[in-house]
Structure 1
Amino acid sequence: MKIRRDQNLYYLVKFQVIQANIQHSRAASAALCASVARANADLALIQEPWVHGSRIRGLQVSNGGLLYCGHQTRPRACIYYKSSINIFPLPGFCTDDLVAAEVTYVSEGTQRQLVVCSAYLPYDKKESPPTRELRDLVAWCEKEKKQLIVGCDANSHHTVWGSSDVNDRGESLLDFLFSYNLEILNVGNEPTFVIKNRSEVIDITVGSGPICNNIARWHVSNEPSMSDHRHIHFEIITDYNPQVRTYRDPKRTDWDSYRTELQARTREICTKLRNTYDLERAVEELQNAVTRSYEYSCPIKVRSDKHTVPWWSKELTQLRGQTRKLFNRAKRTGEWEAYRATLTEYNKEIRKAKRDSWRKFCEDIDSVPQCAKLQRLLSKNGHTKLGSLKAPSGEYTKTGRETLELLLNTHFPGSRLLNHGDEYDWNHQQRVTTGSRQNWEVAKTVSQSRIRWAISSFDPFKSPGA
C-alpha cells in the first residue's frame, strides 16, 4: 500500500495492482517480476504462470508471496501479494483456473474487506463462460455483501469491453456480468492480446460493490511483457487522508541555540579570499550557515486541519445528534414541537458552554505575557466596549463613571477620580516627585549597560507596558 500526493491537496492511500497473463513463459515471468519491482506493486493477478513439477516458478519477488492451488498439477491462476498486505486466502474457491483471497484494509478509520480474484476462463472447455467456480464466488460475494475485484483472461470477444467483434463466449459472459450487476472496469479499447497477424481485447477487469468507484488509472502498459498478453495496471484507492501541512514559527525560535549553531558553522568558512571565486563561495557558505542554523533552531511543526473549540463537549455532541434525529422525524411526520424544544435546549447549552469556557480562560491567566496576549486580542476588535462590571458586593455598575471608579479602586487603591474643573495640588505633586537623598543614591547605580540588560531581558514580542 502506498500514499501518493494528489493535485487536490489530499493523500491517496491505494493499492497498486498489475494484471498479467505470462503464458507459462520463463522470460515473461522475469519481465513480470521486473514490472512488479518497478511499480512497487502490492498485488498481481496472474494467469497461466510458468509451472515446473506442479509448482509455479520464476516469480520469486522479494518481500512478497504467492497464492495458488498447490494440489493441482498445472495451476493456471495465482495471486502475488506484498508481505505488508493483510490477506486471507479463500481455499474453498481455489482451483487450477481460479484463486481468491480476502484483503483487509482501513478506510476512514474502519476495517473493510475486499475479495480479489485471478481467473482463467479456458477456451478449450465446452461449457460457456464463466466457469462454475467463478459463478460460485460471485454468488457468495453477493450473499455476504463482499466487494469483489476480478482480473481474468476471458478468452471471449465483445465490443462492450473493446473487442473488435462478438462471439458466443462473449455473449454468455456479458449476460452473466449483467445478471450479477458486475461492472466492467476496462477503459478504452487498447488491445491486451497482440500477435503478428491480429490484436484483440480478451483480458478484462470486473468488480462489484462501492470499490468500483475507487478504481483509478486503469491502462494497458506499453512495457515489454515477453508474452502475447500485455500487462494491465490500475490502482485501488482505499482512503483519502488530508494533506499534512508543515510550517515554522519564528516566534518559537531558540535564539541562544541559533547563535551557538551559527558561531560553530561560520568557523568553517574560509576567510582567505584571493579571487572572485573565493568570495562567491564564502558568500554561499555564509548564506547556508545562516539558513541551516535557523532551520536547526526553529524546527518544523505540523499544522493540524482539525479545527476544535475548547468549549465543545461529549454532551453537546449527543444533544446535536438528538436534535438532528428529531428534525428528520419532523420532516416525515410534521410534528415539530419536540424538535423545537430540543433545539432551544441545544442552543442554551451552547451559550452556557461558551460562557463557562471564557470564564475559565480568564481565571487561568496567571502571568504578564498571557495578560498581554489577551489585551492584544481584545484590542484588535474595534467593537469591543467597556460596559457594566460586577463589583465585590455582587452588584453591577450602572454607569460608565461607576465602572471607571471600580477599575480605579481595584487596580490603584487609594486613588481618587478628579471631576471636571477640579484644581490639582501641584505643590503636592512637587513634593512627591522630588525624591530623597536615598533615592538619588539608588539612581546613581543606573547605567547604560544596566538599561541595555533590562531591555534585553524582555520576552520576545512583548507588548508596551506589559
Structure 2
Amino acid sequence: MLSEPYVGSSKEVKSIYGLQVYQFPQDRTVKACIIIVPKLGTKMIGLAQYSTPNMCVVRLDDGNRKILLVSIYVEPNEGVHGTLDRLEHFLKLHPNDHIVVGGDFNGWHPVWGSSRNNNRGDLIIDLMNANNLYLCNTGSTPTFETVTHGRDRSSIIDLTLATGDAHDWVENWRVDVTICPSSQHNAIVFQLENQCQLPDNNSSTSTYRYNSKHANWAAFRDILLTNMASEDIINTDLNIVSMARLEVIIEKVTEVIQHACSESMPVKRAGQKPKPPWWTDRLENLKAEVVSLHRQIHSAKRRGEALGALLAERQLKKTEYAAELKKNRPKVSEISVSCKIKKMSGHSPIGFLKMRRQESRQPQLSWVTAIPEIDKTQQMLY
C-alpha cells in the first residue's frame, strides 16, 4: 500500500514484471496505489467504482474471508479532492465488511503519538469513531522525517486503521527505517493473520526456489523434453490457439518446468532472501550508512546533542544512495515481459514465449532464442 508513489514524468506507476499494480489515475496523477506479489491461493480484485487517484481499493479473497484493502493519500489541503469524505462514504457502504486502511493522512493527534492535535487529526478521530475503525499503529517511531533549514522535523502522519475483526488480524505492526532509507517516509510493516491454507514454499514457481548453480542441466533437458512431449505441447501452434487454451498451456508448461527443476537441481534453503541482479555491494554499503546515520541522529536527539553535522551527512548519503539506485535499477523498457514456454530444439534447455503488445492490436506471439541457465531469468524480475 503506497502513498505518493514515484511516477516519473507520467501520471501512474509503471508496470513491474512479476508484480500486480492496482491504481486508478483517471485524469490526475496517482497518489495512492497497491502493489501485490501474486500468491497461490489468494485472489485480488481492484474495485474501480470506489477508487480515485488518491484512494485505491482492492478486494483480497483469502480462503473463506474477504478483506477490503484501502491505500489512501489525503492531501495537506483536504478541500482539493475530498478524499476523507470519499473514504467515509465507502465505509458507510460496507458497514459489516473487513477493511484495512493504510496511508498518509497528514493529520496529527496524541492518539497515535503526535505532540498535539490539528483539525485534520480531529476529523480522523471522528471518522474512526463513526465507522468502527481501530488504530493499528503502535510505538512512537516517526513515520515521516525530513530536514528543513538545517533542523530535523519528524511526525507520525502515516496510519493503519482496521475495522473490528480485521484489526485483530493485523499482527507485528512496526515502522521499519531500513526498507527505504532514501524516502522521507519510513516504511510500515505488518502481517495479516493467515486463515487460508496456502501452499507451502515448495509450491512456488519462482526460479529463486532452486539453486541452479548446482543444476544437472542434461537431466533437466531430458526431463523437460519428455514431459513437454507427453503433454503434447511441443508441436502446438500458438498462433492459432485461443486465449483460454493459451492459459491452459502456460499452466501446463509452468508445472513441467517446475517438475524438471525439482528433479535436476537442489532447492535453496528456507530463509535465503535473494537480491536482484542489479543490486551491488556499493548499494548495500550506502543503504547501511544511511540507516546508521538515521539511528545516530535519534540517539543524539535523546541526548540533547547538536544535530547539524549528522543531518547534513545523512542528507548527503541519502542523495548519493538515491542516485546510485537510479543508475543501477533497470528501466521498465529494458525488461522483457515473457512467459516460460518454448518449442524445444538444439541445445536450448529453456526459453520464452514473448508477448508483444501493440496499440489497438491483439498480443502477438513469437518464439525467441532460449537461454542456457535459469538464473538468468532472474534478470527479468526487477
- When normalised by structure 2's length, the TM-score is 0.47
Structure number with larger C-alpha Rg: 1
Higher relative contact order (CA 8 A, sep 6+): 2
